[in-house]
Chains A and B, each alone.
Chain A
Amino acid sequence: MDIHTVLKNKFGFDQFRPGQEQVIQDVLEGKDTIAILPTGTGKSLCYQLPGYVLNGSVLVISPLVALMEDQVANMKRYGEKRVIALNSFLNYTEKKQITANLERYKFIFISPEMLLRKSVKNSIERLNLSLIVVDEAHCISQWGFDFRPDYLHIGEFFAYEGRPPVLALTATADKKVIRDIGHYLNLEEPTLHQYPLDRPNISYTIMDLDSETTKTRWIQQRLLETKGPGIIYVASRRRADDLSSLLQEKGLSIAAYHAGKEQEDRAFIQEQFISGEINWICATNAFGMGIHKIDIRQIIHEHIPQSIAGYIQEVGRAGRDGLQSAATLLYSHEDEGRTRFIIQGDIPTEKEIRHYTSLLQKNIPSDEAAEMAKITATGKRIIDYYLERMYLEEVVRRMEKLVQDKEFQLQTILRLIYSTTCIREMILTFFGESSIIKPESCCSVCGTVDDRWLQGPQVTNLAKRPLNWTERLIELLG
């Protein structure tokens, strides 16, 4: 069947978006494929469509359970019944029932830790799989900004005889990450599809301000005069709280978001931002994964991000609706040192690692040991993975290498910040793209940023008023 017909009949679209057709063709030809497509351009179509053309089931490995549930719900909404999510939320009976009847499903979503369970693995190997998809594939690389060690194991699963082609999907990956994806997933000469990361509707501005006070003043002014919804990314939890309450006092509709907030508060804030109840979020980089909001107009960075890839991921949350949006990065001369300090704080030093392992030997629970050795949660994730696989000395060397690499990434983003050539061009070159068409409103180096559209009435913080408690319960439950 012609894939254009399938596109029309099954999905109701008249044409492919850039990249989709080429990726799908390679997948249908049975090649291992790495596809880098910007968020919102329709990555899921790249495996859904082949799923209908090929015989057999499609296995989709996805790192975030919330994301997975979301995708499954979406597909169901569009009428696909043969879709299932296999993750640790299922209870024992459900799991057993599902794994016994896996061949019934066309699309099987699975989390990495489930994939490696023996029982699950066995029933999957018995299946007639037409394609294996690795979603958010950049998570496999420790050079990526979102390293998830449990992702590294999934390559082990791919080593069997006669496995179907693998499609690795991600929105952002530089050369190193691409190499890691191919390597850890055991891909065979994968074809690489990389599609314009450029988001012509986003303008880039980078500004040198002399201190935190000046930045605060700038942000305050900006929020009072221009439109949201928007996200302000800051370097620390403390700063997120402080800046947010300061702006709140000015009557702005804003809330702070960071990992130090209680889980429920985070969920409430996210919900309020998506529904438009809150206009701005002042957040650490903990905010953003899995947020579906298409009309974000501004992203403001109040610090130097840790890497270009991370920066692009954060900026890319703006303007998913295709309308004009603005990215602004504010920095001051103190930022470089601060960012370096934060980065290095996450990577355990030799002394910390030795302390940690000696505590483990004394049978101290690993969480406690990490806390006593002053190792962060991210740091623990990383060394736990390596300690399982290699000698202590080697782990230490790995960490030293990691520090160097992070420093390299920092140097790259510093070059972007001090750049005298077009910011857009710099970013795209960094990701290996060569043809660049500059939009009318390009960047602060080009000097073409036109922000007039941004002017306008801002949402002010309407004092929330609580309901009477019985009314509230009735609104919730009827």
Chain B
Amino acid sequence: MNLSSILLTIINKLDGERTIYAGFHLLRGKRSGQTLQDVEYYGLKPFFGLLPKLRIVTFDEAANRLIELGYIATSDDSLVTVTEKGRLELSILPSYRFYGWDYRGREMIFYGRLTLTVQTMSNIRAGKKSFMPIQKDMNIQTFVKKLLYELPIKNPLFSRQVGEELTIGIIRSEMSDLQKVIFTHRLAGYGLSGWTWDQLAESLKLNPFTIRLMFIESLHMLLTVIESSTDLQLLQKMAADIKVSSYLTESSTKTKRLFDQGMSIEEIATARQLKVSTIEDHFVEMSINNTDFPLQMFVSEEETIAVIAKMNELGTKRLRLLKDEFKSLTYFQLRLILGARTGEGA
């Protein structure tokens, strides 16, 4: 697993209809209308916000590698496609188990809480009351303090109980053996320091970035399992508020509230002192995220069916091509149809 291969998978899904930087914005989790729309149309939720701090140079390196290897090619209008050679490569890549859409980098907060809890338990077990906390973030420290306050941490059996719960979680998550090693070595405790990315890379003979990606994936897998495991009580507490609960941007949420009160797009635009086009973006976002979005208020069912049929026939989701076929529909209407009726929400 590495950034290039993830990028190759993304480009493949984008189906030759976007420039390479759509991948960058996706990985960083940019909450713009365009990116959010892509996520839905092209089934890219797993990769959304996977690397919120990804640097453009790192991204460019990965992209250039794909070009050098001849896996991707860019057309004159900068759209990027996967080549035959790239397709061959894709067929041998393992599948990913990221859930970027749900976690968006927040899995690291969960990890922070977990490391600090483990470090605290480990020190208490060794009879140490003071130690340098591995997490300096105030929110994490406060969270863990509060969490442990309610628990029998002085009981010598309790730390083992924490260990057992974690073991069950790890096994259930079905992370790979390598991921188990990485995961447990990013935890630290009394007399047992954590391993840096470089140290893990050196001893596992892997690229540090690869290790980081594997780690993120293992956290996503663990978090998903924790969510449905009522018997993993402590882990469930640690995972509180980690999963994104509202998939709408803050601004879209406000728009939705006004819409639910019965305001029209124009009225909302006036009330919020925003451009109509911005409010329209919010509606597209709502069409993507809310299964009960009232599409029929904007376009008839017959038109919707016709657009979807055409889209399948042409094998494209490019708006301009669809617009040529349906001159009577606006771009806004087309976007709403695609939002509500394609991707996983459909």
Residues of A within 8 A of B (CB): 66, 69-70, 73-74, 76-77, 88-89, 91, 255, 261-265, 267-272, 275, 277, 463-470, 472-478
A467 to B167, CA, bound (A): 15
Nearest A-chain residue to B183, judged by Cβ: A469
Residues of B within 8 A of A464 (CB): 195, 199, 202-203
If A464-B195, A469-B184, A477-B163 touch, whether A89 touches B204 (CB-CB below 8 Å) is: no
Choose among A73, A91, A465, A470 the residue that contacts B203 (Cβ–Cβ < 8 A): A465
A307 to chain B, nearest CB (A): 26
Listed A/B pairs (12) with beta-carbon separation below 8 Å: A76-B129, A264-B186, A267-B134, A268-B188, A268-B195, A270-B132, A271-B132, A271-B134, A472-B192, A474-B163, A477-B125, A478-B159
New A-B pairs, 11, CB < 8 Å, besides A264-B186, A469-B180, A476-B192? A66-B132, A66-B133, A76-B130, A89-B142, A263-B135, A264-B134, A265-B198, A268-B193, A464-B195, A468-B181, A478-B163
User: In the bound complex, do residue B130 and residue A255 qualify as a contact, i.e. CB atoms below 8 Å apart?
Assistant: no
Choose among A73, A89, A466, A474 the residue that contacts B181 (Cβ–Cβ < 8 A): A466
Chain A CB within 8 A of B345 CB: no
Interface set, chain B 245-272, CB cutoff 8 A to A? none
Residues of B within 8 A of A88 (CB): 138
Nearest A-chain residue to B132, judged by Cβ: A66
In terms of DSSP, what is the predominant structure of the interface of chain A? helix
B187 to chain A, nearest CB (A): 6
User: In the bound complex, do residue A268 and residue B194 qualify as a contact, i.e. CB atoms below 8 Å apart?
Assistant: yes
Chain A CB within 8 A of B320 CB: no
Binary contact readout B127-160 vs A (1 if CB under 8 angstroms, 0 otherwise): 0011011111110011001100000000010011
User: In the bound complex, do residue A77 and residue B130 qualify as a contact, i.e. CB atoms below 8 Å apart?
Assistant: yes
B131 to chain A, nearest CB (A): 8
User: In the bound complex, do residue B130 and residue A477 qualify as a contact, i.e. CB atoms below 8 Å apart?
Assistant: no
Residues of A within 8 A of B138 (CB): 88-89
B189 to chain A, nearest CB (A): 4
Choose among B162, B188, B195, B203 the residue that contacts A463 (Cβ–Cβ < 8 A): B203
B89 to chain A, nearest CB (A): 30
Choose among A77, A261, A469, A478 the residue that contacts B160 (Cβ–Cβ < 8 A): A478
A423 to B118, CA, bound (A): 48
A467 to B162, CA, bound (A): 19
A60 to B137, CA, bound (A): 23
Chain A CB within 8 A of B277 CB: no
A89 to B167, CA, bound (A): 30
Residues of B within 8 A of A263 (CB): 135-137
User: In the bound complex, do residue A470 and residue B167 qualify as a contact, i.e. CB atoms below 8 Å apart?
Assistant: yes
Residues of A within 8 A of B186 (CB): 264
If A70-B132, A271-B188, A473-B166 touch, whether A466 touches B118 (CB-CB below 8 Å) is: no
Task: Say which size band chain B's interface belongs to.
Answer: 35 or more
Interface set, chain B 166-224, CB cutoff 8 A to A? 166-167, 170, 177, 180-181, 183-189, 191-200, 202-204
Residues of B within 8 A of A66 (CB): 132-133, 136
A317 to B178, CA, bound (A): 39
Chain A CB within 8 A of B122 CB: yes
Chain A CB within 8 A of B289 CB: no
Residues of B within 8 A of A269 (CB): 196
Complex A-B, nearest 5 residue pairs according to Cβ-Cβ distance, in ascending order: A73-B130, A477-B163, A469-B180, A476-B189, A268-B194
User: In the bound complex, do residue A267 and residue B203 qualify as a contact, i.e. CB atoms below 8 Å apart?
Assistant: no
A469 to B160, CA, bound (A): 15
User: In the bound complex, do residue A477 and residue B159 qualify as a contact, i.e. CB atoms below 8 Å apart?
Assistant: yes
User: In the bound complex, do residue A472 and residue B188 qualify as a contact, i.e. CB atoms below 8 Å apart?
Assistant: no
If A271-B188, A469-B184 touch, whether A89 touches B132 (CB-CB below 8 Å) is: no
Chain A CB within 8 A of B115 CB: yes
Chain A CB within 8 A of B7 CB: no
User: In the bound complex, do residue A476 and residue B187 qualify as a contact, i.e. CB atoms below 8 Å apart?
Assistant: yes
User: In the bound complex, do residue B130 and residue A70 qualify as a contact, i.e. CB atoms below 8 Å apart?
Assistant: yes
User: In the bound complex, do residue B160 and residue A477 qualify as a contact, i.e. CB atoms below 8 Å apart?
Assistant: yes
Chain A CB within 8 A of B121 CB: yes
Residues of B within 8 A of A262 (CB): 197
B320 to chain A, nearest CB (A): 34
User: In the bound complex, do residue B167 and residue A473 qualify as a contact, i.e. CB atoms below 8 Å apart?
Assistant: yes
Nearest B-chain residue to A277, judged by Cβ: B193
User: In the bound complex, do residue A466 and residue B204 qualify as a contact, i.e. CB atoms below 8 Å apart?
Assistant: yes
A465 to B185, CA, bound (A): 11
B225 to chain A, nearest CB (A): 16
User: In the bound complex, do residue A91 and residue B159 qualify as a contact, i.e. CB atoms below 8 Å apart?
Assistant: no
Among B122, B159, B193: residue with most chain A CB under 10 A: B193
Nearest B-chain residue to A461, judged by Cβ: B202
User: In the bound complex, do residue B115 and residue A469 qualify as a contact, i.e. CB atoms below 8 Å apart?
Assistant: no
Residues of A within 8 A of B187 (CB): 472-473, 476
A272 to B188, CA, bound (A): 11
Residues of B within 8 A of A264 (CB): 115, 134-135, 186, 194
A268 to chain B, nearest CB (A): 4
User: In the bound complex, do residue A267 and residue B132 qualify as a contact, i.e. CB atoms below 8 Å apart?
Assistant: yes
If A268-B193, A477-B122 touch, whether A469 touches B134 (CB-CB below 8 Å) is: no
Choose among A91, A255, A472 the residue that contacts B184 (Cβ–Cβ < 8 A): A472
B240 to chain A, nearest CB (A): 16
Residues of A within 8 A of B177 (CB): 469
User: In the bound complex, do residue A73 and residue B122 qualify as a contact, i.e. CB atoms below 8 Å apart?
Assistant: no
Residues of B within 8 A of A470 (CB): 167
Nearest A-chain residue to B119, judged by Cβ: A476
User: In the bound complex, do residue B192 and residue A267 qualify as a contact, i.e. CB atoms below 8 Å apart?
Assistant: no
Residues of A within 8 A of B198 (CB): 255, 265
User: In the bound complex, do residue A272 and residue B204 qualify as a contact, i.e. CB atoms below 8 Å apart?
Assistant: no
User: In the bound complex, do residue A265 and residue B136 qualify as a contact, i.e. CB atoms below 8 Å apart?
Assistant: no
Among A263, A275, A463: residue with most chain B CB under 10 A: A263
Nearest B-chain residue to A270, judged by Cβ: B132
Residues of A within 8 A of B204 (CB): 466
B152 to chain A, nearest CB (A): 14
A470 to B177, CA, bound (A): 11
Nearest A-chain residue to B146, judged by Cβ: A91
User: In the bound complex, do residue A272 and residue B129 qualify as a contact, i.e. CB atoms below 8 Å apart?
Assistant: no
User: In the bound complex, do residue A275 and residue B203 qualify as a contact, i.e. CB atoms below 8 Å apart?
Assistant: no
A89 to B133, CA, bound (A): 12
If A466-B204, A478-B159 touch, whether A268 touches B145 (CB-CB below 8 Å) is: no
Residues of A within 8 A of B118 (CB): 476-477
B57 to chain A, nearest CB (A): 13
Interface set, chain B 220-240, CB cutoff 8 A to A? none
Residues of A within 8 A of B162 (CB): 477
A66 to B187, CA, bound (A): 20
B170 to chain A, nearest CB (A): 7
Interface set, chain B 80-104, CB cutoff 8 A to A? none
User: In the bound complex, do residue A272 and residue B192 qualify as a contact, i.e. CB atoms below 8 Å apart?
Assistant: no
Residues of A within 8 A of B132 (CB): 66, 70, 267, 270-271
A452 to B183, CA, bound (A): 45
Residues of A within 8 A of B135 (CB): 263-264, 267
Among B141, B195, B196, B204: residue with most chain A CB under 10 A: B196
Choose among A70, A277, A472 the residue that contacts B185 (Cβ–Cβ < 8 A): A472
User: In the bound complex, do residue B130 and residue A275 qualify as a contact, i.e. CB atoms below 8 Å apart?
Assistant: no
Choose among A77, A275, A473 the residue that contacts B193 (Cβ–Cβ < 8 A): A275
User: In the bound complex, do residue B122 and residue A476 qualify as a contact, i.e. CB atoms below 8 Å apart?
Assistant: yes
Nearest A-chain residue to B197, judged by Cβ: A265
Choose among B129, B136, B183, B196 the residue that contacts A268 (Cβ–Cβ < 8 A): B196
A95 to chain B, nearest CB (A): 11
B20 to chain A, nearest CB (A): 24
A326 to B204, CA, bound (A): 36
User: In the bound complex, do residue A267 and residue B129 qualify as a contact, i.e. CB atoms below 8 Å apart?
Assistant: no
